[in-house]
Amino acid sequence: MDSTRRFHFCSSDGFKLTSVMTQWSFSLTAAFGFLVSLTKSSCTQDRALQFLISFNKKPEECKEMNPMKVCSVRLNDGHLMPMLGLGTSAPSKVPKSKVEEAVKTAIDVGYRHIDSAYLYQNEEEIGRAIWKKIADGTVKREDIFYTTKVWGTFFRPELVRTSLDTSLRKLGLSYVNLYLIHFPVALKPGEEFIPKDKDGEVIFDTVDLCATWEAMEKCKDLGLTKSIGVSNFNRRHLERILNKPGLKYKPVCNQVECHPYLNQRKLLEFCKSKDIILTAYAALGTDFRKEWVNKNCPVLLKDPVLNAIAAKHGRTPAQVALRFQLQRGLVALVKSFNEKRIWENYQVFDFQLTPEDMESLDGLNKNIRYFPDEFVNHPDYPFFDEN
C-alpha cells in the first residue's frame, strides 16, 4: 500500500493548499497533539504543524516552511492570507481582557491570522497581545496577518484614512495586512455606530461606495495596509466596484456570513470567477448572545448530519464545519476565547472530508442568516438610488 497521502485543498480555479503526510503520521498527529495539549508550550503547535507537513519533504524544502505559507491562499494582489483566522468579536458583556488572552493563546497554538474591526473596540487589547508575542520571540510582525475594517460612519473619503489611523494607533502597528469596507452601507458620521433620528430611524449618508473604495486604494498606496477588500457585499455591490471606471485595485476578498446553513454557493462562484477570495464568518453559526443575532435560527453545531459526519471522522462538529469551508476554497474565521476550543479549532489540517461528506454538508443549506441583512437591503439606503 502506498504510504503517502496527498491532501490537495484544491478548488476548480486553483486555490491551492497541499500538505503531504504519511499514513503513520496520522497516528503521530494524535500523539503529537496530545503532547501539545499536555505541555502547552509556546509555539508548540507551529512546530507540530511543521513537523507533520515537513515529514515527506527534503530538508531544503523544509527551511521555507512556516504556517503562514503552508496554510495560506494567494490573494489577487500577490499577498498571502492564512486560511484559518481567529475571530475577535464577542458579545458586549464579555470583558475586553479576554480577547488579549485569546490572541496570545491563538498565536501560541499557531494561528497567524487575526480578524478585527474598528467596530469591535478591542484593537488596543489585540495590539498588546501581538506585541507581547513579538517580544517573547514567538512571532515577528511579518508572520501575522491582521485585518481591520472601516465602519459605515467613516465612508466619506476623507474619513477612511482617519479610521485606519485610529486602528493603527490603538494597535501600535505601522500597517495592517487587510483593510475591509465592513458593510456596503454609509451612515451619518459621528460618535454613534448606528446613528438614529428622533423617531428611531437609521440615518444613512450619501456617499458613493466607489468614492470610499478610491480612499481605500489610497491607504494601500500609502503602505498603511497591504491589501484591501470588502465585507457583506452581494454580487451587485461587488460589480459596482469592479465596474468602476479607473479601478486601481480589485477587492482581494469579500468577508460574508457562511456556514452549512448558508453556503453562499452563487456568491462563491461569482467571487471565484473574479479571483476574489470568499472569507466565511460565523462559520460555526456564531454566538447567540450577540446583540444583532437572530435568536430564532436553529443551532448549527447541533445539526444531526454535521454531528454524524463529525462522529465518523472522530472529530467535533466545529472542526467539520471549518474543514468544510477550507475544502471549498474559502478562508474561515472562527472566534473562541476558550483555550481548549482555540486549540481544537486549529486541528483542521490533518483530516479530509469525502466528496459525499461535502455533498451532505452542502445539502444542509437553508439560506439561514444568523445576522439579518435587512439593514444592507434597506429600501431607504441611497446606494440603491442609482441613475
Binding residues for ligand NAP (CB under 6 A): 87-89, 115, 182, 231-232, 255, 281-287, 301, 316, 318, 333-338, 341, 344-345, 371
- Are the C-beta atoms of 158 and 127 separated by less than 8 Å? no
Cβ 330 to ligand NAP shortest distance, Å: 12
Nearer to ligand NAP by Cβ, of 159 and 293: the residue is: 293
What is the separation, in whole angstroms, between the first and last Cα of the chain?
65
Q: Is 193 helix (H, G, I), strand (E, B) or coil?
A: coil
Please say which residue, 54 or 150, places its beta carbon nearer to ligand NAP: 150
At which residue does the C-alpha cell 442609482 appear?
386
Integer Cα distance of 372 and 291 in angstroms: 11
For residues 187 and 206, what is the distance between their CA atoms, to the nearest angstrom?
Answer: 8
Residue 120 φ/ψ, nearest 5 degrees: -75, -15
Say how far apart CA 365 and CA 302 lie, in whole Å. 15
Backbone φ/ψ region at 14: left (φ over 0), alpha (ψ -120 to 50), beta: left
Sign of CA dihedral 197, 199, 200, 201: negative
Closer to ligand NAP at the Cβ: 260 or 285? 285
**Grid cell locating 153:** 460612519
- Residue sitting closest to ligand NAP (CB): 87
Q: Smallest gap, in angstroms, from Cβ of residue 102 to ligand NAP? A: 8
> Of the residues 111, 118, 120, 179, which is catalytic?
120
Tell me how far apart the alpha carbons of residues 107 and 113 are, in angstroms, rounded to a whole number. 9
Catalytic residue check, 120: yes
Question: What's the closest the beta carbon of residue 239 comes to ligand NAP, in angstroms?
Answer: 20
Residue with Cβ nearer ligand NAP (231 or 327): 231
Compare residues 142 and 291 and give the one whose CB is closer to ligand NAP.
291
Q: What angle do CA 195, 201, 206 make, to 5 degrees?
A: 60
- Could you give the residue numbers annotated as active site? 120
